[in-house]
Amino acid sequence: VDAAVYEVGLGGEYDATNVIAQPAAAGISTLGIDHVDILGHTIEEIAWHKAGILKHGSPAFSVEQLPAAAGVVAQRAKEKDVGIEIVHVDPRLKDVRIAPDAKFQKQNASLAISLTETVMKRLEPGFKLPPDTLPKEFVDGLEQVVLRGRCETKVEGNIRWFIDGAHTADSLRVSAKWFGGESAKHAAGKRVLIFNQQGREEAVELLEGLHNGVAEQGLVIFDHVVFCTNITYAEGYKKDFVNVMYDPAAIKGMTMQKAFKEKWEKMDPKATVVLSETIEGALRYVRELAEKEGEVQALVTGSLHLVGGALGVLEGGDAFQHLTLQGGVAHSDIFVKSGSTRLLPFSQRFEEGFMAWRLKDFSDYFTSNYVSLPLEMGDGLFFNPALFHAAGENQTVDFVRKVNLLQVSSAFGKTMENIDSLPLVSRCWDDLRGKYDCEGLSHEVVAFVSSVASGYPFPTNLDKRVPGLGGLAPDSEQDILFRGLAEKWDRERVCSALCQIVDDSKA
């Protein structure tokens, strides 16, 4: 790793990330009222904490701040003997497609340019950006960056979802302005707000800023307002969404949501205000409304946990999957003949998508063009799972390779979860076979197999479970079930095959 970016979690002065004695650079983006129970109730108090990341001897940058915040940042920089540069919108961005196309994002991009240039000068003495244009690498990075859940729109039938995480008064005003502008571009219909901000002392007051921000755009105020918890599904959270800082009793009793409802009904008595125990339920309310009323525009805003959960529900649980890295760390030296992972460079850009691996022509192309890298013990290899990849074949007789397979995901990523298929298949196999005999591979048969068995054959022991002839991976549990249906296996045989997968997958 040549350069690492640490984002502060909360505040700055006392944050767990603030342990680098002399970072290559420090940057402060737009400050707002946030986490008042910990950082203080005024912008001056919050700015004091944020400026705690400034270090003597390290370059520092800040976007333009409110005067009260700017004064505190400047004073703290003086106390720490740090020269801080105020970053304005970079004129070289005029021909760069920034998304969302808003001033706050151009400020963020300008800050990123300043920080990156500073780090590059440290890594490559003599590095200097042209005064009039940005190099292609900078433009590509700025244009291709994906910021899920910020000013994002999704169309689902006659529902247009506007998704924008915002948890400060300032960011909610920006969100309202964005929604107002985007909403006006489309056919009129019912407007719905889905909101939550769990456990923040200032959360109820944030609603007033959001309400007024939408009203200032000249829009009809929301016809329906849904306040929900951050619980994703009726059966509970995705386990990587759990926030242990919040009181479970308050969540279960919907204490915050009831306060939101009371506040909104005072601001807009004409709105229909409802509570939902889950994010899934809130989205279902909008879908049912669209079935009755036609066109619906729904703004999902507030907590980033709400936004992540909503994307997870809308996208079938795979939101933020593109932020995942797969790979492993070698626990022994691995040379190419012992079966290091096979990769097809740049294949993540293949427009037809990963399902091409099922095509024989693609399999032949992959086999002829893949690359493999030797690894020394302790080396790590990580890659975007959208990159076409396959298990390597151990062509040796007596060499045992050992790799600890890992997956690195964002907070909203899908985890590598194992399904305990055996008891489900054992109870349902006879009925499933009967349905298959009558219907073949009907939608219901395929859906059942997909829901009770894993279609991903890793992690596994590739010395015991070698990919079949011409294959890129060993059989998955789903492959076993489909074969069992086609070949009319009885319950005992299919359960035995599933048990064999488990045993053979052990190191």
**278 contacts: CB under 8 Å, gap ≥ 6:** 228, 229, 231, 232, 233, 234
- 26-144 belongs to which homologous superfamily? Mur-like, catalytic domain (3.40.1190.10)
Tens digit of each residue's pLDDT (9 = 90 or more) over 51-91: 999 999 999 999 999 999 999 999 999 999 999 999 999 99
Condensed to tens digits (0 to 9), the pLDDT of residues 338-366 reads 888 889 888 877 766 656 766 778 888 88
First to last CA, the chain: 30
DSSP tag of 476: -
Candidate from 314-328, 441-455, 473-487 with smallest mean pLDDT: 314-328
CA dist 102 and 104 (Å) reads 6
Query: Cα–Cα–Cα angle for 1, 376, 410, nearest 5°?
Result: 40
Burial (CB count <10 Å: 0-12, 13-18, 19+), residue 261: middle
User: Does residue 459 have a cis bond before it (omega within 30 degrees)?
Assistant: yes
How much is the pLDDT for 249? 64
Whether residue 447 has pLDDT greater than 90: no
Please write the tens of the pLDDT for every residue from 409-431: 654 444 445 567 888 899 999 99
Retrieve residue 290's tokens. 């669209």
Instruction: Count CB atoms within 10 A of the CB of residue 217.
Output: 14
Bigger pLDDT: 151 vs 170? 151
In tens, the pLDDT along 183-231 reads 888 877 899 999 998 766 667 778 887 887 777 766 657 999 999 998 8
Give the alpha-carbon dihedral of 481, 485, 489, 492, to 10 degrees. 40
272-297: pLDDT as tens digits? 999 999 999 999 999 999 999 999 99
- Here the tokens at position 73 are 């940042």
Q: Where are the domains of the chain?
A: 26-144, 152-314, 321-408, 421-505
Considering the domain 152-314 in this protein, what is its CATH number? 3.90.190.20
Compute, in degrees rounded to 10, the torsion defined by CA atoms 286, 289, 290, 296: -60
Q: Tokens in use for 358? A: 């099922």
CA–CA distance, 298 with 283 (Å, rounded to integer) = 9
